[in-house]
Amino acid sequence: MRFALLLSGLLLLASPAWALDGEQILRQVDRNLEPESYESYRKLIDIQPDGSQKSYVLWTIKKGRDKILALFLEPASDKGRVTLRLGDNMWLYVPDVGKPIRITSLQSVTGSIFNNADILRIDYTAEYSVVGVQEQGDRYVLALKAKTEDVAYDKLTMTVDRKTLLPVTIECYAASGLLLKTLHFSNVKDFGGGIKRPAQLETDSPLYKGYKSVMLWSGLKKASYPDEAFTLNYLPRVQELRK
Partner 1 sequence: MKPRRTRGSWWLLVLVFLALGAQADEYSFDISKYEKKPFELNGYAELKGEDFALNPDGALYKLNYYGQPQRESLTRATETLELAGKLRHDIATFDFRTHSDFQQDQLAYDRTNKFYEAALSLRPRSELTLEAGKRALSWGKGYAFNPIGFVQRPKDPNDPQLAREGYVVADGDFIRNPGGALQTVALTPVLLPVTSDMNSDFGASGHVNPAFKLYALYRDTDLDFAWQGKGSRPARFGFDFARNLKTNFEIHGEWARILDSPKQVTDAQGNVTTEISNATSYLLGLRYLSEANTTYIAELYHNGTGYSDAEADQFYQLVDSAFAQPQPNPLLQKALALGQGPYGRPFAGEDYLYFRAQQQDAFGIVYFQPALFALVNLDDRSFQVTPELQYTGFNNFELRLRLYLLHGGGSTDFGEKPNDRKFEFYVRYYF
User: What residues line the site for partner 1 (CB under 8 A)?
Assistant: 41, 43, 45-46, 48, 52-54, 57, 59, 73-77, 79-80, 86-89, 94-99, 101-102, 104-108, 111-113, 149-152, 200, 208-209, 211, 214, 216-219, 226-229, 231-234, 237, 239-240, 242-243
Q: Which residues of 96-130 are buried (b: 16+ CB within 10 A; e: fewer)?
A: eeeebeebebeebbbebbbbbbbbbbbbbbebbeb
For partner 1, the closer CB: 99 or 162 = 99
Shortest CB 6 distance to partner 1, Å: 43
Shortest CB 30 distance to partner 1, Å: 21
Kindly compute the dihedral angle of the four CA atoms of residues 175, 11, 30, 65, in this order, to the nearest 10 degrees.
80
- Bond preceding residue 75 cis, omega within 30 of 0: yes
Which residues are CB-contacts of 58 (< 8 A; sequence separation ≥ 6)? Answer: 41, 42, 43, 44, 70, 71, 72, 73, 119
For partner 1, the closer CB: 49 or 132 = 49
Shortest CB 218 distance to partner 1, Å: 5
For partner 1, the closer CB: 19 or 45 = 45
**Contact status, residue 160 vs residue 29, Cβ threshold 8 Å:** yes
Shortest CB 26 distance to partner 1, Å: 21
For partner 1, the closer CB: 83 or 105 = 105
For partner 1, the closer CB: 166 or 232 = 232
Shortest CB 118 distance to partner 1, Å: 14
**Alpha-carbon distance values, 81 to 76, 132, 226 (Å):** 10, 39, 20
